[in-house]
A and B are shown apart, each in its own frame.
Chain A
Amino acid sequence: MFGYVEPDKPELKIREFDVFRGYYCSLCKSIGKHYGTIPRLSLNFDLAYLAVLLDSVGGGMTFGKMERCIVHPIKKRYVIKSNPFIAYASDMNILLTYYSLKDKWADERNLLGACGSLALSRAFKKAKKKHPDKAASIEGSLKELNRLEKENCNSIDEAAEPFASIMREIFECHLIEDESTRKTLGWLGYNLGRWIYILDAWDDLEKDAKTNSYNPILIQFAYKQDNLDKFKEEVKEKINFILTYSLSEAEKAHSLLGVEKNCGILDNIIYSGLIVKTDKVLQGRCKNHEKESI
């Protein structure tokens, strides 16, 4: 479900790209330091965005230096020095990945889900201890999501709600003290969450239609086991509207934040990266979500 929030790489300045990668690497290292090597594999782009966003909203100075790591042992790379925001993002990464892996195992009996959640269980306990309230609310939302899936919920809006709430919860970081800024962050997260959930549902249409799994788009628009391509053509406009509208709301929250630090990267993601990704997935050019390397 994760990894859709990405910058539009060709439009980034090289310096901005280095900084973004610096955050990504720092997040990875932070997970390594706090939770061990295996959980590092679970890192995804959405959380890298969260790290950049929170660190930029929080302001303050950020330092970086050239370092080596296991994945890139030869060449040194620019890595941002870890700070509380980055540590927070890495905790959230563990929580989210653990729950989604566990969910995979419960739903589809996916072996990767079982092994993954087992491997993450120690890290998860540690993260949960750090953020008991966040963990509880994520767990609650996922239960809700499970219930909706079991009941074959026929509304895209309703099905997207739990995941959007999770994202709101995560974006409303306690390290940001100003109440209204937190609220704005929450609305940004909520809308991104909706966008991710619905985009993912669209991405999985073929798979779900074949295996007869739950997919809110198939149910809401009453897909009858016939021509999937025709079905997609028919509902595309509608899905496009929901996705773009969610993004436009996220953009409004983004402009209210008025962040100056790293604004090149953040603007790039909000104004370009997300819409480019939307078009790619809607046109089916992003089959089962291939991940671009960084």
Chain B
Amino acid sequence: MKKNPYKVLGIKEGASYDEIKRAYRELAKKYHPDRYRDNPLSDLADEKMREINEAYDTLMKNAGGAYQYQESYDQTYENSSASQSQRSTGSQYQSQSTYSSQYQSQQQNQNQNRYQSQYGYADESELERQARMYVNSGNLNEAQKILDRMHTRNANWYYLQGLVFLRRGWYDRGYTNIQKAANMDPTNYEYRTALNNLKQQSTGYRQNNYYRNTYHNNPDMCQICGTLWCMDSCCECAGGDLISCC
């Protein structure tokens, strides 16, 4: 069953064009495939992203919030979507939106092509290719088996091993291995991006703090008094006076 697009985006029915856009941006950031790249839940995130894209599409096509959600929506939507989806590849929104998953996958393909042509895992051995495939499909035990079988431990081996650890949840070893890969082959774009991504994830979580956490850093009474006293002393040194009574 199709869900109410307003509910998917978490907005009120009849929300304005801007509100829909804002809600979409926020959600797209949250479930962005980049964030879930080395995560065992990536398929669920993709599904969510698809849902959000679909809801956004539906609302946008119906001209900024004039869209009415009805109980019979399922049927009408199914009917109309069949014809719409054929046209939709060229629709304005998709060529504009930076967050849409289509764009995303395109970009990933481009990136991959770039890796392959420039930094070459094109010349990666058959075993390495298999290991990579298993990592991507989430079959970690098989990937680990293949990695254990390999004797040459080059940068790519450490990188793949790092990915296996990350997916498993062994972040310390994952980080160490990827760092090693990046050190062994500093020119490799893929290793460097992965390493930066790791650092970014953890700092991002801290900065992305939901609350501003102001009270944790607020000056307490002691600090305020101390500052006042300092200022007073400084002023007196310079010949003036800030607090006349002392």
- Assuming A244-B206, A245-B198, A256-B48, is B41 touching A272 (CB within 8 A)? no
Residues of A in contact (CB 8 Å), total: 37
Q: Which residues of A contact B154 (CB under 8 A)?
A: none
- A-side binding surface: helix, strand, loop or mixed? helix
**Count: A-B pairs, CB below 8 Å:** 89
5 nearest CB pairs, A to B: A271-B210, A248-B205, A157-B170, A244-B202, A245-B202
Q: Which residues of B contact A247 (CB under 8 A)?
A: 205
Cα distance, A271 to B205, chains bound together (Å) = 8
- Most chain B C-beta atoms within 10 Å of own C-beta, residue among A158, A247, A255: A255
What are 20 sample pairs from A and B whose C-beta atoms fall under 8 A apart? A8-B211, A157-B172, A164-B169, A190-B169, A242-B171, A242-B175, A244-B203, A252-B35, A252-B39, A252-B45, A256-B41, A256-B45, A256-B48, A258-B48, A268-B210, A271-B208, A271-B209, A272-B209, A272-B210, A272-B211
Cα distance, A252 to B30, chains bound together (Å) = 8
Report B142-181 CB contacts with A as 1/0, cut-off 8 Å: 0000000000000000000000010001111101000000
Task: Tell me if B44 counts as interface (CB < 8 A to partner A).
Answer: yes
- B-side binding surface: helix, strand, loop or mixed? helix
User: Does the CB pair A275–B172 fall under 8 Å?
Assistant: no
A101 to chain B, nearest CB (A): 27
Q: Which residue of B lies closest to A11 (CB)?
A: B211
Cα distance, A158 to B208, chains bound together (Å) = 29
Interface-facing stretch out of A21-29, A31-39, A139-147, A179-187? A179-187
User: Does the CB pair A276–B213 fall under 8 Å?
Assistant: yes
User: Does the CB pair B205–A244 fall under 8 Å?
Assistant: yes
Q: Which residues of A contact B198 (CB under 8 A)?
A: 245
- Having A245-B198, A246-B169, A256-B41, one finds 8 other A-B pairs with CB under 8 Å, namely A8-B211, A157-B165, A164-B169, A183-B44, A238-B172, A242-B172, A245-B201, A248-B202
Task: Tell me if A63 counts as interface (CB < 8 A to partner B).
Answer: no
Residues of B in contact (CB 8 Å), total: 32
B31 to chain A, nearest CB (A): 7
User: Does the CB pair A245–B171 fall under 8 Å?
Assistant: yes
User: Does the CB pair A183–B172 fall under 8 Å?
Assistant: no
B45 to chain A, nearest CB (A): 6
User: Does the CB pair A251–B213 fall under 8 Å?
Assistant: no
